[in-house]
Chains A and B, each alone.
Chain A
Amino acid sequence: MRRSEKDVEKSSGIITRRAIVLGGLQLSMMGALGLRLRHMQVEEADEYRLLAEENRINVRLLAPQRGLIFDRNGRPVAQNDQNYRVVIVREDAGDVEAVLTRLTGLIELTPEEIERTLREVGRRSAFVPVTVKDQMPWEDLARVAINAPALPGVRPEVGQTRNYPLGQDFAHVVGYVGPVSDYDLSKMEDPDPLMQIPKFQIGKSGVEARMEEVLRGKAGNSQIEVNAVGRVMRELSRTEGASGRNLQLTIDAGVQNFTQARLDGESSGVVVVDCTNGDIIAAVSSPSFDPNLFVRGISVADYKSLTGNKYRPLASKTVQGTYPPGSTFKMVVALAALEAGVITPEGTEWCPGYLAAGGRRFHCWKSGGHGHVNLNGAIQQSCDVYFYEIAQKVGIDRVAAMAQRLGLGTRFDLPLSAISEGIAPDKDWKRRSYGQDWLVGDTLNASIGQGYVLASPLQLAVMTARIASGNAVMPRLIKTIDGVEQPVSAEPMGISPRHLRAVQTGMDSVSNTTRGTGYRSRVVDDAMRIAGKSGTSQVRNITKAERARGVTRNDQLPWERRDHALFVAYGPVPSPRYAVAVIVEHGGGGSSVAAPIARDVLLSAMTGGMPPLDAYPSSQRDGIAARFEAMPMHEQFRPKDGKSRA
């Protein structure tokens, strides 16, 4: 059958019409494709190109070496140790379990370590190295390296960990580092990209924390090209970072170690300041702890034993702890009165053993009274009534102002953790703090360093240095940063030298006259003679009930309620160089407990190590030699002949 011409015409007519519609449809689809292409490739090209770069280039941070910390003589206090570790890469190892079993034959691996490694390996991509063991001895690492051919995928690596070679001596000053936590990050406004490195170590307390930016250094980075699964294809560029800057402390590690050993776990704080420039020569809080424990990650048991200890080893008693300064505050009152012109050094007050004020009796520590005392005698024998009298004359506001001038009630800007401001109270302060008016009794309590007055050992040491030098020395802890000397400040205070000398003479009498409260702790070598002032601050009064039970003496009380023992001193008297403040928490009497420590520490500062025995009164030398021998000092700071330098 042959198709008619008409049929053919009709058929091709339909096809043509339909084809035109279909062609139009296809054309518009292609138009849409072209427009979409144009939109993506021309209009949004920049955006996509950016995404492509992000895809491709991965920046890997290179951790800088943390700055080192030295003492004033260049002895290392904080350093970076090589940390040897072994890592395993799954794709090179093949059978990870078999390789680990072989590795167990070479180094000690606990089942937990193996299990943890296997878990980690299973979770990560095949080419990511997983740490098998950390903090290995070098010998183990060497063994692994030698056997490398039998251990596919196992790689020895070297990292760095912080180490504090002097252990507990600098725990409160230098502090310690630890891995950055979410809490740390939340506190940072603009976290350094380095914080993204897992377990990156940052300073957690002390100088390590406060000088973090200086010590940390700058991250280097390595730009690497990665593919879709994160495998490194090649390194595109590498920028080396900058190591952290090295710090030199003003502290003398020898004096620090001697002091720590001298305190021997007694709950106490000692600060030694250079009178000429404010350098902190020693700042010791006892008992202490080993900061290296924190770097490695402290065990729960260790941490509990630190927090549970009633002597509070974690607290920094030198700057954080504040105590009623007791009689060591009397120099402040004396200078305030002298400068105000309400007394003269020669003028006397009458001490009958008490002063009646505000309807009650304020006792002198000597119940019989001191009779007529002038300034020198009042300081020498620590007569309370003399200071009650002159404090009333000068008024609390001028006492507080003098306290501020001498460094009390001031927060020194040092790179240490938790520095307390202390309290140098005045009328305004009481109104602000308690909403109450200042009473006469408050003045009397404050005049003997009780009541509202609170000071830290650092503040007392600075006070003593300022009294000894007449200059407003500012404490300094960082001597140099990368060898650049940091500024010191010791402007004259503008207190009349005559008045200063009167107070200094009083302190000299304390230590060097037979009736002085510090006479037992004198130095007989005139070139190293010291002058001081004792203080015994009450934590609370002995109650009537206790008195009834026959408790009258301090050492019959439980430890927490005994008096704090304080002593401040400077030396050598002819040209003062070092000032010290000692506080022994609940130690008892300042003259009996704190003064011997102050003497030993000052002598150590003056000689830069062990105090010379012949500086002590001859009757005390044997006992002191035996004590020094028994002290837990670092060997490096003991004289080579095993004896004290004489």
Chain B
Amino acid sequence: MSYLEYAIKTVPSGIRKVLYLNWPLVFLLTAISSVGFLMLYSVAGGSPQPWMEPQMERFGLGMVAMFAAAMVPIWFWRNISFVAYAVSLLLLIAVEIMGEIGMGAQRWIDLGFFQLQPSELMKIALVMVLAAYYDWLDVEKVSRPLWMLPPLLLILVPTALVLKQPDLGTAILLLAGGGFIMWLAGVHWAYFLAVIASGVSLVYAVMASRGTDWQLIKDYQFRRIDTFLDPTSDPLGAGYHITQATIALGSGGWTGRGFMQGTQSRLNFLPEKHTDFIFTTLAEEFGFVGASSLLGLYALVLVFCYISAMANRDRFSSLLILGIAATFFLFFSVNMAMVMGMAPVVGVPLPLVSYGGSAMMVLLGAFGLVQSAHVHRPR
């Protein structure tokens, strides 16, 4: 397939493309990132160092990447989807091998100016490749078992690799994100039912494997599950993180303790206060009003993505936008569920708010693809 199927004449060209960007989305992403800057400033005890300034730099870089990606026609992105996926997979294998040959359990590749996590890249590459696959595949064949094998392999191979790192959070994101796209592409619902059923059985098997020779996950992951089920069982040990997080979150009340007044994060009761648990600081300092506002911003991002996807008659574009939105949704909902004690602590950052270069860059880059799809939609 080629871009010739699009009515190119109706697509804006050159600098005019800027006018056709999905600007509400740009503002929303900036607003969410700004919340992140504020919180990073707060958890550093009222200092732009060590987190806020680097985060702003990366946000700047990410925005540039987003605009750049938005300028590139969507069919280009579709055509390099498989390449992007292959590169990401190779990088994933590379960090795996580097770990094997004694550099420790590294999850990133040092690019000099920044440390790239191939697993972050993979989250987007997987969405791209699946969208491209289902764009290419005849709609009639979507639910045929043979045609379901390639997407399943595309999902499961990187999932297995990140699970081996081990990075449970990313594995869940890849698995669920991939599943969402297959759902959107129209795979018959009976498959999903079967997968959910076997998933439940798998969880059962994992729990049953505990303490045996064929134990499927690591002890610390078992302990995380234990403390998820009952955080009070070990309040100063494994359950400490979640107990402290819920205390901080709950003590925020309606309007919070005020900016920079959160005692729990200030006094280091909170672990990972600038990364995975930053939402608790926000909730403590700005209360229910602040925390639910952030949730609202995230929801608006989804809404604009859905609107853009529905209005887009290009199959690849729709699937890509919805896939990226789903990944974004998984990011923030798993993170929030985690810090609120509704899900195990699996190490998923709060998108655009948590401190971390890779995630910020990759997410903004991904929204660049959304913008590109939006700008270059068939009219």
Contacts and interface: CB of A to CB of B under 8 A. Distances in A.
A229 B315 contact: no
B74 to A, nearest CB: 15
Interface in A384-430: none
B337 A228 contact: no
A237 interface: no
B139 interface: yes
B326 interface: yes
A40 B333 contact: no
B246 interface: yes
B283 A22 contact: no
B33 interface: no
Give the interface centre of A38, A44, A51, A233 by most chain B CB atoms within 10 Å. Answer: A51
Give the interface centre of A27, A33, A227 by most chain B CB atoms within 10 Å. Answer: A33
A123 to B, nearest CB: 16
Interface string B302-337: 100010011001010011001000100100010011
B244 interface: yes
B139 A37 contact: no
28 contacts: A3-B5, A7-B139, A10-B139, A15-B318, A18-B186, A23-B302, A30-B298, A33-B337, A33-B340, A36-B342, A37-B249, A37-B295, A37-B336, A38-B292, A41-B254, A41-B283, A42-B288, A45-B252, A48-B247, A48-B250, A49-B253, A52-B247, A52-B263, A52-B264, A55-B247, A55-B263, A227-B269, A228-B270
A414 B292 CA distance: 69
B292 A34 contact: yes
Given A11-B139, A48-B247, A1 B310 contact: no
A48 B269 CA distance: 14
B310 A233 contact: no
Given A3-B5, A45-B252, A37 B340 contact: yes
Interface string B171-187: 00000000010011110
A16 interface: yes
Contacts of A48: 246-247, 249-251
A119 B263 CA distance: 34
A601 to B, nearest CB: 63
A53 B299 CA distance: 33
Contact of B315 (A11, A33, A42): A11
A264 B287 CA distance: 78
Contacts of B149: none
Interface in B269-284: 269-270, 283
Contacts of A30: 295, 298-299, 333
Contacts, number: 141
A544 interface: no
A41 B340 CA distance: 11
Contacts of B65: none
Chain A interface residue number, banded:
35 or more
B65 to A, nearest CB: 26
Contact of B306 (A3, A23, A40, A52): A23
A223 B186 CA distance: 63
Interface in A202-231: 225-229
B247 A18 contact: no
A41 B287 contact: yes
A209 B200 CA distance: 66
A1 B250 contact: no
Contact of A45 (B250, B295, B326): B250
B250 A44 contact: yes
B197 interface: no
B315 A45 contact: no
A2 B5 CA distance: 5
Given A42-B253, A48-B251, A51-B251, A34 B295 contact: yes
B1 interface: yes
A16 B310 contact: yes
B310 A8 contact: no
A229 B268 contact: yes
A1 B1 contact: yes
Given A2-B5, A22-B180, A45-B253, 13 more contacts: A2-B4, A12-B315, A14-B139, A19-B306, A23-B302, A36-B342, A41-B291, A45-B254, A47-B250, A48-B251, A55-B269, A56-B264, A228-B268
A29 B295 CA distance: 11
A16 B309 CA distance: 9
B267 interface: yes
B352 interface: no
A29 B333 contact: yes
A56 to B, nearest CB: 5
Contacts of A3: 5
* CB-CB nearest 9 A-B residue pairs: A48-B250, A52-B251, A41-B288, A45-B253, A14-B186, A49-B251, A227-B267, A48-B251, A228-B269
Contacts of A38: 288, 292
B132 to A, nearest CB: 14
A12 B185 CA distance: 9
B248 interface: yes
A48 B263 CA distance: 12
A29 to B, nearest CB: 5
Interface string A480-522: 0000000000000000000000000000000000000000000
Contacts of A226: 267
Interface string B232-257: 00000000000010111111111000
B186 A233 contact: no
A26 interface: yes
Contacts of B251: 45, 48-49, 51-52
